[in-house]
Amino acid sequence: MWVEPNDLTVERIQFLDEHGKITGTMPEVSDEELISLYKWMVQARVFDQRALKLQRQGRIGTYAPLSGQEAAQVGSACALTEQDWIYPSYREGAACFVRGFPMKNFFLYTMGHLNGTDAAGAHVFPVQIIIAAQCLHAVGGAWASKYKKEDSVSVAYLGDGGTSEGDFHEAMNFAGVYKLPMVFFVQNNQWAISVPVRKQTGSKTIAQKALAYGMAGVQVDGNDVLAVYTAMKQALNRARKGEPVLIEAVTYRQGPHTTADDPTKYREGSDVEHWLAKDPLKRMKAFIVEKGIWNEALDKEEYERADQMVTEAFEQALNTPKSSTKEVFDLVYEQKTSQLKEQQLSLGSEEVWK
């Protein structure tokens, strides 16, 4: 019997439409949780807008904006328990903040400081620049968790472009074969730099790739924080039982790939406007205002609070002493080799990263 590509139908999970109206049954989320989800998204948006400006001013290095993907990151990260781990790429600032990663350290990371990836016990692995390599690291963490009989799940965050990498497929295969407590969270933001998703895969969805590796897959509206939060809760329950899951969150990267990119060279303005109408913050705000648990005064206050928080974090990062070149050698191995010790001693004590 032939298995035809068009035989498979994948239904996208959605609770909030682009106008903030409930579609179907309201998930079990308390008013306190709803407000918390929205506040985290506001914080992420404010941080992102400030970081973009700071890079343009030359005060931080290359930065990968996340605007448009707040619901995907916040909804998924808020569903995690304290013992779970996330393995981010370079665009997951919002998810990292939810997990407790210091905002100051994220700024330090953009400044090239050696302590910029210090998660301070937040169960966040260092940012991975190599596309999809974090999937292999996450599988290793999940395997260790299973071996040690820990009640923790490893979550690998990646974009649609990452699913074209061998590391993603190798990690999926390993997780499926060994039944690891693992969730692959793909933010399908439609673009891998200038390459559209239609050139990333010939399959109708990314979610269906799970089937080839013996695991469950689901597609959610990545701009609907309620859909993401609910789907991740369900995925974590399965993963803790040794059933790895692939989640495809369909969203949109509103800005450039990084500050070194110009999206106007390859994206149509009409496409951007189409997705801006689906903005995750606008729909969530509309929903909680309509529900009577939020208003314009609270919204203004929250944006001001977030702005102050970002300002303080940047000032702290700015006033942190620069890394010394000697420190590089302390971060390679737990115990330095004789060659590393010799190289470290050969450096002057005053050398610092510029």
Q: 15-73, pLDDT tens digit by residue? A: 999 999 999 899 999 999 999 999 999 999 999 999 999 999 999 999 999 999 999 99
139 and 183 together in one domain? yes
316: in domain:
yes
69: in domain:
yes
2: in domain:
no
pLDDT of residue 29: 96
CATH number of the domain encompassing residue 299: 3.40.50.970
121 and 155 together in one domain? yes
266 and 183 together in one domain? yes
Question: Long-range contact list for 142-149, CB < 8 A, 24+ apart?
Answer: 142/175, 142/180, 142/181, 142/182, 142/244, 143/174, 143/178, 143/180, 145/85, 145/180, 145/181, 146/178, 146/179, 146/180, 146/181, 146/242
295 and 170 together in one domain? yes
> Which residues are identified as catalytic?
253, 257, 266
pLDDT in tens, 310-337: 999 999 999 999 988 888 888 889 899 9
Q: Alpha-carbon distance 216 to 239, whole Å?
A: 10
67: in domain:
yes
State the alpha helices, DSSP H only, in the chain. Answer: 31-56, 70-78, 93-99, 103-110, 133-147, 166-178, 225-239, 269-276, 280-291, 296-318, 338-345
133: in domain:
yes
1: in domain:
no
Ramachandran sector of residue 20 (left: φ over 0; alpha: ψ -120 to 50; beta: rest): left
20 and 159 together in one domain? yes
| Domain that includes residue 342, residue range | 324-354
267: in domain:
yes
140: in domain:
yes
pLDDT in tens, 126-154: 999 999 999 999 999 999 999 999 999 99
Question: What are the two backbone dihedrals, phi and then psi, of residue 290, each rounded to the nearest 5 degrees?
Answer: -60, -30
Is the separation of the CB atoms in 182 and 138 below 8 Å? Answer: yes
> CA separation (Å) from 354 to 52, 113, 321, 323, 351?
21, 10, 11, 9, 9
94 and 60 together in one domain? yes
- % of the chain with per-residue pLDDT over 70: 98
Specify the number of domains making up the chain.
2
pLDDT of residue 354: 47
H/E element holding 187? strand 182-188
160 and 295 together in one domain? yes
268 and 328 together in one domain? no
201 and 350 together in one domain? no
182 and 274 together in one domain? yes
- Least confident stretch, 116-130, 143-157, 166-180, 209-223: 116-130
Do the bridges between strand 182-188 and strand 154-159 make them parallel or antiparallel, or are there none, so unpaired?
parallel
pLDDT in tens, 81-91: 999 999 999 99
* pLDDT higher than 70, residue 351: no
Question: What are the two backbone dihedrals, phi and then psi, of residue 179, each rounded to the nearest 5 degrees?
Answer: 50, 60
197 and 339 together in one domain? no
> CA separation (Å) from 160 to 192, 312, 318?
7, 34, 34
166 and 32 together in one domain? yes
pTM of the model: 0.95
